[in-house]
Amino acid sequence: MAEEEEDFRYLIVEPENGGITDLLRFGIFGNKGKGAKFLYGSHPRVIQEELSLVGEDGDHRLVIMVSIIMRKLIKLFGKPLEWTGYLVDFLLNLLSLNRNLLGLIANFLQGKVVIPVRGSATFISTIGHIDGRIDLDPNFDDVFVFQKDDVVREEIKLDAGNRSLMDLSMMASKLAYENANVIKNVMHFVDFYDCWNEYQKERSTQVFIFCDKQKDANLIVISFRGTEPFDADDWITDFDYSWYDIPKLGKIHMGFLEALGLGYRSNPSSFQQLIQTTKNDFDEKETQQDPNKKLFPEMVEMSAYFTVRRKLKSLLKEHTNAKFVVTGHSLGGALAILFPTVLVLHQEEEVLERLLGVHTFGQPRVGNRQLGRYMESRLQERYYRMVYCNDIVPRLPYDNKTFLYKHFGVCLYYNSFFIGQEMEEEPNRNYYGMWYLIPEYVNAVWELVRGMGMGRRYGADYKESWEGIVMRMMGLVIPGISAHAPPNYINSIRLGKLRHVQMSTL
C-alpha cells in the first residue's frame, strides 16, 4: 500500500467545494478542517502533509487562499471577460482594416466598411495589435529571413542562447497568439494544432510548427500559445496550485499537464496511465485503433503532447540535419519546458539528442525543486528562461521556503533600461511586499513615458502603437500586467545588454 501511494500522489485545489465563510475561517483563524474542504488528494496523508505546512508557515496558508480567491473571481467574471475579448478583438480589427477611426468614418459614409472575419488571414489578435512586428531584427550578424520565400541572407547559427535564435523564438511565441491563416503567410509553415483539454472540455491549447526551409531544414521551431488576455481558463490555470507527483522526477503543476493533454483531474488515474509508462507502451498506444482499450486512445489522438511529438518525429526523419527549438510566452512557456520534460520521462533519447534549446518568455513556475534539479542535469544549459522587469507571471505560483514551485534553468533578467544579467532567480520573486510597491509604480510611469518616445529614440520599428500605450496605462494600476506584454521581451532582446556574462553573439 505504501509503495502504491508513493507511485500515485496528487493534490487538487477545488475552490467550488467551500464557501466564503470556510475560506475566511481557514485564512484568518487557520482552521485546517475548513481548509481541507478545498483540498482533494490521492490519499488523506497528502492533505495532512499539505495542511501541516499551514501551521509551520503562514505564507503557505496565504498561497492556498490566493489560489482559491483568484480562481473564484476569474470564474465569476469569466463570461464577461470572454465577451469583452470578442468585442475588443472586433473593434481593433474594424479600425485597422478601415485605416483607423477617420478611415472607418469615411468608409461608412461611402458604404465601404470592411467587416472583420474571425479566423481569416487579416484578423489579428489583441497581442498582434499591441506589437505588429513580424520580421526578425536585421541588425544581427547571423540573422535569416523566415518568410515563405527562400531568401536567406545568412543561416542562423544553431547555438542555444544565441541572440538571433532568442529573437526568432520570441517572434514565434508572439505569432502563436494568431490564427493559422495569419501564421501561414509569415513562414515555412508546417501545421497549426487546436488541441483538447479534457478538464476545460474544449480545444484550448494551441501550438504551431515551422521550419527554416521547406527542404533540408536546419531548424524546426515548436511554439506554444500563451495566456490570452481575455481567456478566463488560461488565467485560472496560471493561478492553480494543484500538482501531480511523478516518482524520481518531481511534482508538476497539474493544470499545465492538462493543457498538454496528459490527463485530467476528474479521472486522476489518467495522469498515471498517460505519463508513468514506458516509451514502448506509448508507441503502441499511438498506433492502436481500438477505442475500447483502457489507455485513453482519444486523449493520445487529441492531446498537444502526443500530436506534436508525432509530427516532430516525422519532421526529424524528413530533415536529417535539423535540430529543434521549443518556445512560448507566458503559459506557452510553461508548456514549452514541460514538453521536453515528458520526452525525458518517456526516454525519447533519439529525439532529445536533436533538441537545440528551450526558450521561454515570462513563464510561470511549473514544478518543485526536485524537478528542476533533474531537468537541469538533462538539458545542460539548453534551457533559457527570460524575465522582463516586474512581469507578474514569472512570480506565479507563489514561492517560499516551504512552497513547492521553484524556477530552474538559466534566467536572463532584464530591467526597464534593457540591462540584463544572468541570475538564478529574478528579483522580488513573489511580486509582493511594501518594499517593492513604490518602485513598481514609479517604474510603470517610466515605462509609459519611455513607450511614448521609443520611436524617436530607436527608430520606426520601435514606435509603440496606441494599443501599446493603452497597455502601458494599465500598468499604472497593476504594473506587472503591462510588464508581461511581448513588446518588452522583443525590445530587451534587440536593445538589451547583458552584464558579466559571455553568451554567443551577445
- From the candidates 125, 242, 330, 492, give the one annotated as an active-site residue: 330
- From the candidates 22, 167, 234, 391, give the one annotated as an active-site residue: 391
Burial of 314 (0-12, 13-18, 19+ CB in 10 A): exposed
The Cβ of residue 269 has, within 10 Å, a number of other Cβ atoms equal to 12
- With beta carbons less than 8 A apart as the criterion, state whether 395 and 405 touch: no
| CA–CA gap between residue 91 and residue 97 (Å, rounded) | 10
Q: Is the four-CA dihedral 495, 498, 504, 506 of positive or negative sign?
A: positive
How far from 182 is each of 123, 144, 164, 230, 252, CA to CA, in Å? Answer: 7, 20, 23, 20, 33
Cell numbers placing 505: 553573439
Closest CA to 437 of 474, 493, 478, 405: 478
Q: What share of the chain is helix, strand, coil (3-state, %, to 5)?
A: 50, 15, 35
Cα angle 334, 337, 341; round to 5: 125
484 is catalytic: yes
470-488 burial, b at 16+ Cβ within 10 Å, e below that, comes to ebbeebeeebbbbbbbbbb
What one-character DSSP code corresponds to residue 264?
B
Please list, in sequence order, all residues whose beta carbon lies within 8 angstroms of the beta carbon of residue 438, skipping any fewer than 6 positions away.
Answer: none
Q: At what angle do helices 331-345 and 369-379 cross, to 10 degrees?
A: 70
Q: How many CA atoms lie within 13 A of 320 on its CB side?
A: 0
330 is catalytic: yes
Q: Is the four-CA dihedral 289, 290, 294, 296 of positive or negative sign?
A: positive
Collapsing DSSP to helix, strand or coil, 286 comes out as helix
How far from 268 is each of 43, 77, 264, 302, CA to CA, in Å? Answer: 12, 28, 6, 18
Closest CA to 309 of 338, 269, 272: 338
Q: How many CA atoms lie within 13 A of 293 on its CB side?
A: 15
Closest CA to 125 of 84, 176, 189, 81: 176
| CA–CA gap between residue 172 and residue 153 (Å, rounded) | 19
- With beta carbons less than 8 A apart as the criterion, state whether 347 and 236 touch: no
- From the candidates 67, 238, 484, 492, give the one annotated as an active-site residue: 484
| CA–CA gap between residue 368 and residue 407 (Å, rounded) | 8
Look-up of cell digits 488565467:
235
Beta bridge partners of 11: 41, 243
Catalytic residues: 330, 391, 484
